[in-house]
Amino acid sequence: MPSVREQFEHWKRAIPRQEADDFSFDSKHVHVCTKHFDSSDIIRTCDFMMNGDAVSLPRDKPRLRPNEIPRFDDSLQAYFTTPKPRPRTVRRPIKRRREPSCAREAVEVPALPTSTLGTAPADDAAAACNITSSDQSCGSACQTDNELSCCCAAEKATLQYQLRAVAQQLARCQTMLAKLRV
């Protein structure tokens, strides 16, 4: 029985036994057996790290985890006992499957009259390719003699995300370098 008064009251409520002349919860001889606890409430091994390896040794005496209360009683019906909910297992984060890059199709860009061309040829090429984004530039590497290689929207979004992450990392490195120079 626990020595902390609040925990002792929890145990007293969890054990449905009447105090009588021959039995009292306050007696130092009162014990609760392991059948009244969930198997996960009892520590049966000592786990520690030795030279970087996890080592598990059996304990001489099983020990109860702190703040655990009895949950099971043989004299009660099964629906009166409160089984401990199963703990959630920690799973490794799921790696996203790589999306196959789109087959780059050469799109024939019709020759536009010079009066309808915008101020930047990259804007017209992006409009002809139906690429919509905040930056409407397609770089000169994409353009070859009236042909434009279009990227999938997912691939473009991935590249934008990677570019943004690299830009943030570069900014952090530059601030750290500036601090080191001062």
Query: pLDDT of 13-32, one tens digit each?
Result: 666 665 656 555 666 666 67
Most confident of 51-60, 112-121, 162-171: 162-171
Higher-confidence position of 177 and 126:
177
**Same domain flag for 76 and 118:** no
- Domain total for the chain? 3
pLDDT of residue 129: 44
**81, 73 Cβ separation under 8 angstroms:** yes
**H or E segment to which residue 49 belongs:** strand 42-50
Q: Note whether residue 86 is domain-resident.
A: no
Residue 96 counted as domain residue = no
Of the three residues 45, 80, 115, the one that is the final residue of a domain is: 80
- Indicate the DSSP class of residue 57: E
Mean pLDDT for 111-124 is 44
Residues 106 and 173 in one domain: no
Distant-in-sequence, close-in-space partners of 41: CB < 8 Å, separation ≥ 6: 64, 65, 68, 71, 84
Query: Mean pLDDT over residues 58-66, rounded?
Result: 80
Q: Is residue 118 part of a domain?
A: yes
Confidence label for 107 from pLDDT (cuts 50, 70 and 90)? very low
User: Which amino acid type is present at position 52?
Assistant: G
Same domain, 136 and 180: no
- The residue range of the domain holding 176 is 154-182
Name the strands in the sheet holding 106-108, side by side, starting at the edge strand that comes first in the sequence.
106-108, 147-149, 143-144
Claim to verify: residue 17 and residue 70 sit in the same structural domain: yes
Handedness of CA 144, 149, 150, 155 (dihedral sign): negative
Cβ neighbours of 14 (radius 10 Å): 16
Strand pairing category for 53-64 and 42-50: antiparallel
Domain annotation covers residue 97: no
Is 65 contained in some domain?
Answer: yes
Q: Look over the chain and give the mean of its residue pLDDT values, rounded to a whole number.
A: 66
The verdict on residue 35 lying in a domain is: yes
Is residue 167 assigned to a domain? yes
128 vs 125: CA distance, rounded Å: 5
Among the three residues 48, 80, 112, which one is the final residue of a domain in this structure?
80
On whether residue 87 sits in a domain, the answer given is no
One domain, residues 11 and 68? yes
Do residue 47 and residue 25 come from a single domain?
yes
Which is nearest to 121 in space by CA: 149, 140, 107, 141?
140
161 and 143 within one domain: no
Of 46-50, 111-115, 152-156, give the range with the top mean pLDDT: 46-50
